[in-house]
Structure 1
Amino acid sequence: MIRFAVLVILAITTSASAQEAVTDTNGATLRALDKLSGKVTDMQLSNGEHQALGRIDVELDDCRYPEDDPAGDAYAFVTIRETGKPDPIFRGWMVASAPALNAMDHPRYDVWVMRCRTS
């Protein structure tokens, strides 16, 4: 399932970049949901920055948006680790307009990209 989702994301990213130019940004807004408490948290992250949220650590590696439509979509490469586990529980591209396309699979937390920073 994960390999399929990664292939789909790569196909979308590749076809998007072939059809429209994208702009790299220096940060993004990510939203996280703690399914146990129902608490929603918005995180403002710069590229390379990470933020702890409960038992997970969210790191933003890159965020891009269509050059001619900054509000149109956001593509963020995110790495998420769980406390005490060496391997990431998620590492890949998230697409704001299709959050379920490459969603993090975790029993307690959901994380998705909202938008790239445009200024």
Structure 2
Amino acid sequence: MAAKRNSFAARLVALSLTACASIPAFAVQSTLEQGAEAQGNIHHSTVVLRALDKITARITEIELPVGEEGHFGTLALNVRYCRTRPPIEPPETFAYIEIDDIKRGGTRERVFEGWMVASSPALNALEHPVYDIWVMSCKTDSPEAQGDSR
């Protein structure tokens, strides 16, 4: 049991350090995919985000496929990576997200790039005057939906 706790703590520290480091997304993704596979983490194809518009108090759940761009208000959301732990370990979801604020004229300003952890949304949060975004969970498309292309 102590070995599992040490392994959990080591992974949490590694994830926290990676979240704070300014490493390009593609390098982080490939390195963590290799490490996640070895640790038994489960890769998912869709992330579930919760978004809050602070002006209107509107809360929206967004299901966004990994690698595709979604929008909430003036924000452009792009999830590069979404994983959860296997069922035999304590539940945890983490996602690598890039968020751009689209200004007038179509120019983009990167307002967030990094890891968000579902159990600790304040660990690495989006700091925006109008919007809040946080990770809720990851999902995998059902095999029936993927194979139903007749």
Query: Larger helix proportion, structure 1 or 2?
Result: 2
- Opposite residue 110 of structure 2, the aligned amino acid is P
Query: Larger strand proportion, structure 1 or 2?
Result: 1
Structure 2: runs of 5 or more not aligned: 1-14, 20-31, 142-150
User: Considering only aligned residues, what root-mean-square deviation do their CA atoms show, in Å?
Assistant: 2.5
Match of 1:99 among 91, 100, 121: 121
Match of 2:135 in 1: 113
Larger relative CO (CA 8 A, sep 6+): 1 or 2? 1
- Do the aligned partners of residues 68 and 88 (structure 1) sit closer, same or farther apart at CA in structure 2, a change above 3 Å counting? same
Match of 1:60 among 60, 73, 79: 79
Give, in whole Å, the separation in 1 of the partners of 2:58 and 2:89. Answer: 28
Structure 1 position 30 matched with structure 2 position 49: yes
Structure 1: runs of 5 or more not aligned: 1-6
After the TM superposition, which segments of 4 or more aligned residues of structure 1 sit over 2 Å from their partners? 7-11, 68-71, 84-87
Number of corresponding residues: 109
Tell me if structure 1 keeps the 8 A contact 2:102–2:109.
Answer: no
Say which one has the larger Rg.
Answer: 2
**1:49 Cα deviation after fit:** 1.4
